[in-house]
Structure 1
Amino acid sequence: MKLSPATEPRNEAERVVVGFLDAWGPGAWPHMLECYDTWMTDDVSWENTGSPPCKGKAEAMEFLSVLHETLEMEYCTAELHNVASRGNIVLTERTDRVHLADGTVAIEIPIMGTFEVRDGKIARYADYNADSPIRERFPRHNV
């Protein structure tokens, strides 16, 4: 994962979030499922702009599978531009890249994200971005 000099983790909550983002890829598709399973609490809340919220790890894994199908997402990578935290809440400004099976970047998405860390895992994960570029690039993604 690309980190700007100002984004080196300074506390445990930031280390968890950076570890999660770094673990995304590269890797073959099942790797993303394993990553989410490892880094999220069983009762995680995951929200993405323009998509229904996921409550619990099972729903999050199901939604991740939908992203795999509709975006042809093999894995993602993140470039972290800024990080801010207070206690167990971590805010990120980043660019996420969706990679296809051949490794090419299908789309780059500028994102502001909010993470809540509990016991070394992600308990809440919310990404805020303009979803219109995603819908334009991937018409099958209508959830």
Structure 2
Amino acid sequence: MIIHPGAEARTDAEKAVVGFLDDWGPGAWPHMRDCYDHWMTEDVSWENTGSPATKGKQAAMDFLTTLHDTLEMEYCTAELLNIASRDNLVLTERIDRVHTADGSVAIEIPIMGSFVVADGKIARYSDYNADSPIRERFPRHTH
């Protein structure tokens, strides 16, 4: 994971979010599922721009599998540009890179993310980005 100067995690909540993002990859596809399983609470709420919100870890894992299938996503990496927090709320500005099985970058996505951390795990995860580049690059990804 690339962390820009000034975006280093300082609080426990920030450290949990950076740990989650760093754990994405590189790695083979089951690694992403293991990462989400490890870092998310059982009742996690996850929402990405242009996709239906999920509630609960199983729904999040199902959506992650959809991303694997429709984006040809083997794993992701994050470049953390900025981070800010108040209590257990963490905001990130980052560039996420979706990698295919051969390690190449399928797409780079500038994202603003909002996380709520509870007991060191992600309880709420919302990413805000323009989804049109994703839909253009991956026509099978309809939601």
Q: Give TM-score, length-normalised by structure 2.
A: 1.00
Q: May I ask how many residue pairs the two structures share in their alignment?
A: 143
Quote the Cα distance in structure 2 between the aligned partners of 1:74 and 1:64: 11
Quote the Cα distance in structure 2 between the aligned partners of 1:9 and 1:108: 23
Q: Note the C-alpha offset of 1:97.
A: 0.1
Q: Note the C-alpha offset of 1:5.
A: 1.1
Quote the Cα distance in structure 1 between the aligned partners of 2:123 and 2:115: 7
- State the AA in 1 paired with 2:129: N
Quote the Cα distance in structure 2 between the aligned partners of 1:127 and 1:71: 16
- State the AA in 2 paired with 1:62: D
Deviation readout 1:103-131 (Å, 9 max, x if unpaired):
00000000000000000100000000000
Number of the residue aligned with 1:132: 132
Number of the residue aligned with 1:61: 61
5+ long unaligned stretches in structure 1 = none
Number of the residue aligned with 2:51: 51
1:20-99 equivalences under 5 Å are 20-99=20-99
5+ long unaligned stretches in structure 2 = none
Q: Note the C-alpha offset of 1:96.
A: 0.1
Q: Give TM-score, length-normalised by structure 1.
A: 1.00
Is the partner of 1:38 in helix, strand or coil? helix
Quote the Cα distance in structure 1 between the aligned partners of 2:22 and 2:10: 16
Quote the Cα distance in structure 2 between the aligned partners of 1:72 and 1:9: 30
Quote the Cα distance in structure 1 between the aligned partners of 2:81 and 2:94: 5
Is the partner of 2:35 in helix, strand or coil? helix
Aligned structure 1 segments of 4 or more residues deviating by more than 4 angstroms:
none
Number of the residue aligned with 2:107: 107
- State the AA in 1 paired with 2:55: K
Deviation readout 1:15-70 (Å, 9 max, x if unpaired):
00000000000000000000000000000000000000000000000000000000
Quote the Cα distance in structure 1 between the aligned partners of 2:140 and 2:11: 39
Deviation readout 1:67-123 (Å, 9 max, x if unpaired):
000000000000000000000000000000000000000000000000000001000
